Chain A
Amino acid sequence: MVAQRKILNILMGAILPLAVIVLWEVATRERLVSPFLLPPFSRVMVRLWQDIVSGEIFSLAGQTFLRLAISYSVAVVVGVTLGIMMARVRFVRWVLDPVISIGLPTPKIAFLPIFILWFGVFDTPKIVMAIVACIFPLIAGTWSGTQGVDKYLVWSAQNLGATRRELLLHVIFPAALPQILTAMQVALPIAFIVVIVTEMLSGGSGLGGSMIEGARLADTARVFENLIVIGLMGFAFLRALQILRRRILAWHPEVLQEKN
């Protein structure tokens, strides 16, 4: 019964995308829309297949992935560290608090031309831009998570003779983990958005660069091909983070409750 229901749900969920694809294909084949505006779905797929066989798409996706992976991991490590320090060290809090409160809601992408001026047009400005864009929610999320740790937990640990280091590693950090992971889930799409935009604006290929080149050369099939790959990547990364969250928080009531 349950399995049947699941299959039914999957089938119903597939109706809309399939309908869109069929409509897309028919409308473009019948020339209801100009192929310049929308190439037939089949042509996009053939194009994708060719680029898979030739390996072209992997090299583009690889460049984008590398930039995203580097900037995101640097942002996570630095952001979480700073967030914890903000909660533990008064001086760090004093310096960073106003910076965060101003920096968090501002559109950091406005500083891209400045980073291009400073770091040229290769990988560095793209990576720096993505770090700057996604680090604020990481710092803020970690800070509030670390601060929100139950006082009784901290007192109990201190009472049992935990040193500062033990307290941080074994009590505060694990207790703040759910919020840190949430911040990571917020930061990833931001980093991805920014990496794609920087590739569009300052060359250096990658999926974003390839898309904008396709748009300039009126190669619409290429634009849609890249869009599909970017969509799949975005979905896969966020899924991976969700799975990671469940793994890491296997001990947490949040996951335990779900299992029961």
Chain B
Amino acid sequence: MKKLAIRYLPIALIILFWEFASRAGLVSQDVLPAFSAVMVRLWELSAGGEMLVHVSASLLRISSGLGLGIIVGSALGFLLAASITAQRLIQPTLTFLYPLPKSALIPVIIIWLGFGNSAQIMVIFLGSLLPIVLGAYNGAKGVENTLVWSARSLGANAIETEYQVIIRAALPDLLAGIRVALALSFVLLISSEMVGAQQGMGFLVAFLGDGGDYAGMFAGAFVISAIGFAADRAYLALYHHLLRYREA
């Protein structure tokens, strides 16, 4: 407990300095609303239920988009690893598409799907796909042949081998790919909501900022950060749980 307090003391000092700078008028309240004002606004937005509407809209989008990305991406990755021909056909294209800044897809998706939920879900899905495909692919490719051969000689058929051996052995790489996709999904979620949406956290922050409610805007940005941080930590816990057999 004491260790934790010392560790996070700098954050507390930064917040204190912020409060002081804003209250003492070192910076204008319009530029940097006091921390306490932000917290009050956060409370108002949450108590009024407004925050919840936007948070749940965002969470729905990111979980659908990323969920689809995980299902389709890992299936594609494993298929790709299983077939040399598929690799030769598809890999160069993947290598080329991988560095594309995924945010560039937002305008295309807006043209195709408009400003609704499906547009943001699609952007997140497409953005998260490649890291997951590559994670599954690299993991499955890296499986030692002796593992596969042993399973085969013990009488496992192709499906059993794929499920019991390859997918399990590929899990660490796949999970690492999903973590990259998770971070990317948040960036794409917030960006696409800022560009065009009527709901969601990205929309809320941009909307409050445009309306001059700067304390509310800071509150919204904090909520987004908190959700992103919590999602990453929760995922990390899941990651260690799923891979606990390796750490023993």
Which of A's residues lie within 8 Å of B, judged by CB?
9-10, 12-17, 36-37, 94-99, 102, 105-107, 109-114, 116-118, 133, 189-190, 192-197, 200-201, 207-208, 211-212, 214-215, 218, 220, 223-224, 226-227, 230-231, 234-235, 237-238
Contact = CB atoms under 8 A, between A and B. Distances in A.
B21 interface: no
7 contacts: A13-B92, A102-B229, A106-B229, A110-B201, A189-B99, A201-B206, A211-B104
B221 A111 contact: yes
A194 B202 CA distance: 14
B207 to A, nearest CB: 9
A102 B229 CA distance: 7
A134 to B, nearest CB: 11
Given A36-B111, A192-B101, A234-B100, 9 more contacts: A12-B85, A37-B111, A106-B224, A113-B206, A197-B194, A200-B195, A201-B195, A220-B111, A230-B101
User: How big is chain B's contact interface, by range?
Assistant: 35 or more
B186 A16 contact: no
A201 B8 contact: no
Interface string B31-71: 10000000000000000000000000000000000000000
B245 interface: no
Interface stretch (B73-81, B150-158, B160-168, B212-220): B212-220
A63 to B, nearest CB: 15
A223 B190 contact: no
Contacts of B106: 197, 200, 212
Contacts of B98: 238
Interface string B174-190: 00000000011011011
Residue among A102, A111, A212 with the most chain B CB within 10 A?
A: A111
Given A102-B229, A113-B205, A113-B217, A230 B100 contact: yes
Contact of A106 (B85, B91, B184, B228): B228
A15 B218 contact: no
Closest 6 A/B residue pairs (Cβ): A13-B92, A105-B232, A113-B209, A110-B224, A215-B107, A106-B225
A215 B104 CA distance: 12
Given A110-B220, A192-B101, A234-B100, A105 B228 contact: yes
Contact of A201 (B91, B187, B194): B194
B79 to A, nearest CB: 14
Interface of B: 7-11, 14, 31, 85, 88-93, 96-108, 110-112, 183-184, 186-187, 189-191, 194-195, 201-202, 205-206, 208-210, 214, 217-218, 220-221, 224-226, 228-229, 231-233
Contacts of B9: 98
B190 A109 contact: yes
Nearest to B97: A231
Given A110-B205, A114-B221, A196 B104 contact: yes
A97 B7 contact: yes
A230 B221 contact: no
Nearest to B91: A13
Nearest to A210: B107
A234 B186 CA distance: 20
Residue among A12, A94, A214 with the most chain B CB within 10 A?
A: A12
Contacts of B101: 189, 192-193, 195-196, 230, 234
B10 A214 contact: no
A209 to B, nearest CB: 10
A117 B11 contact: no
A102 B102 CA distance: 24
A107 B88 contact: no
Nearest to A191: B101
B191 to A, nearest CB: 4
B66 to A, nearest CB: 13
B209 A116 contact: yes
B92 A227 contact: no
A36 B17 CA distance: 53
A98 B221 contact: no
A72 B103 CA distance: 17
Nearest to A241: B99
Contacts of A218: 111
